Structure 1
Amino acid sequence: MNTMGTDGLIIDAVSHDYGGKDVVREVSLRVGPGELVCLLGPSGCGKTTTLRIAAGLEAPRKGRVFLDGRLVSGDGTHVPPEHRHVGFLFQDYALFPHLDVLGNVEFGLDRLARPARRERALAVLEQVGMTAYAGAWPHQLSGGQQQRVALARALAPHPRLMLLDEPFSGLDKRLRDQVRDETLHVLKTSGVSTLMVTHDPEEAMFMADRIAVMRAGRVVQMGEPAELYSRPADAFVASTFGEINMLAARVAGGAVETAVGRFAAPGLAESQAAGVLIRPEGVSLTPAADGEAVVLVSHHLGRSSLVHLRVEKDGMAPQHLHARLPGTLCPAEGARVRLAVDPAQAFVFPANGEGG
């Protein structure tokens, strides 16, 4: 990989194991200047280990890590975290209880003279809206306020790279949404490259310029949020970004026939077993006495309604399907409806696995 003149973070074919068990396998990715990349995946997929390798907390067994064009891991080199100019923000904000807010933010600025240290600390506290709390102690702050102080402390030394590991998971949903929005604004304003770990697909789509979906130690697919949602590489990626309906089918004439319609099956062989994945939000309903589906139950969820359906089509076994409709629509139990599926919300993959 050519790294000349490259800023940001490059992870190049990195692998790592614990006690002989592979946890990261041939992972390659780049975080460009000012870019925010999310590592997304279930517990145990290797995302936190990848973050720790970027930080220098772990030395990879294979592969290389570059920061702003400088080799920091691999080929016999390993630069420790304290010499990488990296900022950290974790779920446990780890504020020093014996220091006030200003003291916490000044802590990593020991190379500056005292007046410059105070000036920089106050500047980043203003950036995160915490100037008024400079003299407060950590135990006097709410969870959201502690998170803002931890962010200010991480940004104060002008890091080359910010690393975030599930930083919002300890907050309740209302506060999490607010703090997440504020953090994104601060990170983008600062222009720092950021690598973030999350298991929450909605959070990844909100925060990230690009997302790397991980499974079993590998990056399955990487791209912009809209790309991953609209063009998933396999069933695992498709199901990562929300609930899906799964129908079994078999390829005939380059397509699959299901109880809810016919869908193209590019790249699949004739007679091959396939799985048809349909997002509930891609299913629309029209009341019709002769409709092919009957409403089993409707759940009104506020902004949306989740409708359970039994789909009946001659010559096919009945299918259970979910439709997600605008909250103003909530068809009655037992109602007959006709279905329409948005082809852009339906995906056909081989039935013998999820690829990747």
Structure 2
Amino acid sequence: MTEAPAETCPAGLYLDAISHSYGARPVVQGVTLAVPPGQLVCLLGPSGCGKTTTLRIAAGLERPSRGRVLLNCQTVSGDGLHLPPEARNVGFLFQDYALFPHLNVAANVAFGLDKMARADRAQRVVEMLRQVGMEAYAEAWPHQLSGGQQQRVALARALAPRPRLMLLDEPFSGLDKRLRDQVRDETLHVLKSSGVSTLMVTHDPEEAMFMADSIALMKDGRVVQMGSPEELYLNPETPFVASFFGEVNLIPVTVRNGSVDTPFGPVAAPDLGEGAPAELLIRPEGLTLVPDSAGIAEVLASRMLGRVSLIHLMAGGLHLHARVPGHFMPAEGTRLTVRLDLSQAHVYAAEPGNS
């Protein structure tokens, strides 16, 4: 393997200007990102955006058309070199856990430990099953386990050889919501305690925010914004980024004196020119509602969605949605005062055809 200069290469996984095409169709275009040791980075985006191909390139399952893949500053793809997955010491956890049906739980976890002495191998199996809470199932067969239990065994098997990198591709999508929440929480703690670099693919923004130290949001083969979950949610750089993290109220506006007008007061737009057509995106949770007979907004409908209430309202000729924590069900026709949280409002130059 070729070593990269230490000053230009962070430890862990480093994708350096990766591009890949299938025939004439580009699917990954100039992706650069780092996954430091102990960190979990999520590749997030809609179907067909290139995130799974990027993961496969990191794994060695695909050879990039251009760019390099480095593990701990050693080139594993690029510069005329391409190491196969088995030579990279990489762990995998996919939607299909792919446990071997003819092996019991302990033998599944031991599968990748054939180079260890028998006593050390047995000790490592016990250690990993204990870490994922499955030590009582060492003699069980995969078909006797629930989906969540199979996922834990697959995680133990992937981590048992102490990989330099863990790759997760939609690993929780086959579980029902209640179990999914529990298993991904357990998985996060196991990965963090192991200190392994982890790259995960998901299309679910809530899951990405729950799991990730950093999110790389992809669109059309490119990373359009990368940062912490808080950065992407609170400071989205484009309407696509803002809207990908949940429903938004989209309002066509015009810039006047460095701001745009809303029924709830002005929102600053310092980077847009005077008279420019713009788009104002307001998150539904950025609207605080207070019953007020003199209020400017009127309730059209109220719906309870569990943890939040969704309120349809009309204000200044605009049909808007507001999300209020807990139970808040004002009757149709109720008048409201609306306060806008400016951190939940974002102004962008109007995209062609939207103004």
Q: What TM-score do the two structures reach when normalised by structure 2? A: 0.96
**2:230 paired with 1:195:** no
Matched, 1:239 2:238: no
Distance 1:9 1:325, change over 3 A: same
| CA shift for structure 1 position 3 | 4.2
Q: Distance in 2 between matches of 1:2 and 1:45?
A: 31
Q: Show the counterpart of 2:288.
A: 284
3-state secondary structure, aligned to 1:149: helix
**Conservation of the 8 A alpha-carbon contact between 2:295 and 2:335:** yes
> Is structure 2 residue 310 aligned with structure 1 residue 306?
yes
Q: Distance in 2 between matches of 1:260 and 1:248?
A: 15
Q: Specify the alignment match of 1:104 in structure 2.
A: 108
Flag the 1:100–1:207 CA change in 2: closer, same or farther, 3 A.
same
Aligned to 1:348: 347
Query: 1:273 is matched with which residue: 273, 277, 289?
Result: 277
| Partner secondary structure for residue 146 of structure 1 | helix
- 2:142 is the counterpart of 1:138: yes
> Is residue 86 from structure 1 mapped to residue 90 from structure 2 by the alignment?
yes
Letter in 1 for 2:351: N
SS at match of 1:258: coil
User: Where does 1:17-166 land on structure 2 (aligned, <5 Å)?
Assistant: 17-166=21-170
40 and 337 in structure 1: CA distance in 2 versus 1, 3 angstrom threshold: same
Equivalent position SS for 1:222: strand
Find the aligned partners of 2:210 and 2:10 in 1 and give their Cα distance. Answer: 26
Alignment of 1:321 with 2:320, yes or no, is: yes
Is the CA contact 2:279–2:347 (under 8 Å) kept in the aligned structure 1?
yes
Cα displacement (A) at 1:121:
1.2
Q: Distance in 2 between matches of 1:340 and 1:3?
A: 51
Query: For structure 2, which runs of at least 5 residues remain unmatched after alignment?
Result: none
SS in 1 for 2:166: strand
Note the C-alpha offset of 1:143. 0.1
Give the structure 2 partner of residue 230 of structure 1. 234
Q: Secondary structure at the match of 1:261?
A: coil
Amino acid of the structure 2 residue aligned with 1:334: G
Deviations 1:60-98 (A, max 9, x none): 000011001100011111011000000000000000000
| CA distance, structure 2, for counterparts of residue 302 and residue 62 of structure 1 | 47
CA distance in 1, matches of 2:249, 2:5: 43
**CA–CA distance in structure 2, aligned partners of residues 333 and 87 of structure 1:** 54
Shift of 1:301: 1.7
Is contact 2:5-2:73 (8 Å) kept? no
How much does 1:353 deviate? 5.9
Deviation at 1:2, TM superposition (A): 5.0
State how far apart, in whole Å, the 1-side matches of 2:265 and 2:127 are: 59
Task: Tell me the distance in 1 between the aligned counterparts of 2:106 and 2:68.
Answer: 37
1:315 counterpart residue number:
none
> How far apart, in 1, do the equivalents of 2:210 and 2:337 lie?
34
Runs of 4+ residues deviating >3 angstroms: 1-6
2:60, 2:85 within 8 Å by CA — same for their partners in 1?
Answer: yes
Paired AA for residue 97 in structure 1: P
Residue 109 of structure 1: SS of its match in structure 2?
coil
Q: Distance in 2 between matches of 1:261 and 1:39?
A: 37
How far apart, in 2, do the equivalents of 1:220 and 1:6 lie? 21
Aligned to 2:335: 336
Instruction: Give distance in 2, aligned partners of 1:44 and 1:175.
Output: 27
Task: Quote how far apart the aligned CAs of 1:352 are.
Answer: 1.3
CA contact (8 A) 2:295 2:337 kept: yes
- Following the alignment from structure 1 to structure 2, what is the Cα–Cα distance between the partners of residues 220 and 343? 23
- In structure 1, C-alpha distance between the alignment counterparts of 2:29 and 2:235, rounded to whole Å: 24
The whole-number CA distance in structure 2 between the counterparts of 1:118 and 1:133 is 15
Partner SS for 2:336: strand
Partner amino acid for 1:144?
Answer: G
Q: Deviations over 1:192-224 (max 9, x none)?
A: 010000011111011000010111100011111
The 10-residue stretch of structure 1 (282-291 or 78-87) with the greater mean CA deviation from structure 2: 282-291
C-alpha separation between the residues in 2 aligned to 1:270 and 1:132? Answer: 68
In the alignment, structure 1 segments of 5+ residues that lack a partner are 313-317
1:44 match: secondary structure: coil
Amino acid at match of 2:295: G
